[in-house]
Structure 1
Amino acid sequence: MKKSLFKLLVKLNNALLPKYAGKDPAMLTKAQRAILGYRYWVLINSL
């Protein structure tokens, strides 16, 4: 159940949230870093 919820969240993240691939994390704003961290957390929990 938990993994299927996180897999659904990963699909929603890919569709809705912006992607920051190829950008330097040090140059991102705090809000962008929060989004990046949230995407990472969801991805790790879905695996």
Structure 2
Amino acid sequence: MFPLLAKLNKALLPSFTKQHLDLANAKKWQMAIIGWRYFVTSRALDVKN
């Protein structure tokens, strides 16, 4: 399930790294997206191991 979610995240959600977003100046909704992407990506990597 998590590998599929990770692919959907990559396709649908914005990449703040490419936008050079400073985490100190990120808004709450941006931090929520970053946290969600981290959660899903870490779980997707655990599933493959």
TM-score by length of 2: 0.82
* Superposed counterparts of 1:20-35, under 5 Å: 20-21=16-17, 22-35=20-33
In structure 1, what is the equivalent of residue 44 of structure 2?
Answer: 46
- Provide the aligned length of Structure 1 versus Structure 2: 43
Partner of 2:16, secondary structure, is coil
Give 2:8's match in structure 1, choosing from 1, 9, 12. 12
Root-mean-square deviation (Å): 0.7
Unaligned ranges ≥5, structure 2: none
Unaligned ranges ≥5, structure 1: none
**4+ aligned runs moved over 6 Å, structure 1:** none
